[in-house]
Amino acid sequence: MDWKLELAFIPVSDVDRSIDFYVNKVGFHLDYDQRVSEDVRFVQITPPGSACSIAFGEGLSEKPPGTAALQVVVADIAAAHDGLAARVVDVSDVLVLDWGHFVTFEDPDGNRWAIQYLPQRPNG
């Protein structure tokens, strides 16, 4: 039986600011933005080509904003870095290690993202 991760939650302090950051700056797709009740707003975004989406909103988590850490894998670390930099995201330089190449960035709340390229994999 396959187990497929399809949704990860991140805690944010300002939903609209987070939508703007992830959609307009980082380039993720806005899948869903719905106020479910007076106390709950559910937002779902998806990185390009990802089978796993990210969710945030109001009334979804007790965790403090900025405590999430996520990692995605890409086939071209230079293109990922340059694409984020062109969108004016504060992205790190490419770090080249024996087991992979990495760039990192944070959202406005401090949730951390690592982007990894694995040269030993056929598609990164």
Question: What is the rounded distance in angstroms from the CA atom of residue 46 to the CA atom of residue 5?
Answer: 13
Closest residue by Cα to residue 47 from 66, 10, 68, 73: 73
Domains in the chain, CATH or no CATH each: 7-117 (3.10.180.10)
Q: What DSSP designation does 83 have?
A: H
Per-residue pLDDT tens over the stretch 33-80: 999 999 999 999 999 999 999 999 999 989 999 999 999 999 999 999
- The model's pLDDT over 97-108, given as tens digits with 9 standing for 90+, comes to 998 999 999 999
